[in-house]
Amino acid sequence: QVQLVESGGGLVQPGGSLRLSCAVSSTINSFNDMGWYRQAPGKQRELVAVISSDGTTNFADSAKGRSTISRPNAKTMYLQILSLKPEDTAVYYCSARRGFSVYWGQGTQVTVSS
């Protein structure tokens, strides 16, 4: 069984920053890729950033240059976003993939507003 729990969301002013955390509870010791996705109201879920088991990272264009994704161990992942904008408002989800299986957390709300 795999459980992913996000934390660190909340209300942030434009221009601010935040760090989201993803904690994994699982009998699986390692995942191929782990990533962050987000879904704004009325929109489809979209990729923010992904990190592979060898540390290779990829970012959506909207996140490039102001985001960092890290994976200090097999059970923890972080996403730091700087210079937040109102359009970053969304529910942020962490995911983990092993083979053809993809697991999702319940999401954490991020609201960027003054």
- Per-residue confidence in pLDDT tens, the chain, 114 aa: 889 999 999 999 999 999 999 999 887 778 889 999 999 999 999 999 999 989 999 999 999 999 999 999 888 999 999 999 999 999 999 999 999 999 999 999 999 999
β-sheet bridge partners, residue 15: none
Are the beta carbons of 97 and 32 closer than 8 angstroms? Answer: yes
Query: What pLDDT, on the 0 to 100 scale, is given for residue 74?
Result: 83
What letter would DSSP give residue 44?
Answer: -
Distance CA 75, CA 80 (A): 17
Query: What pLDDT, on the 0 to 100 scale, is given for residue 30?
Result: 80
φ/ψ (deg, to 5) at 9: -75, 175
Query: What pLDDT, on the 0 to 100 scale, is given for residue 79?
Result: 98
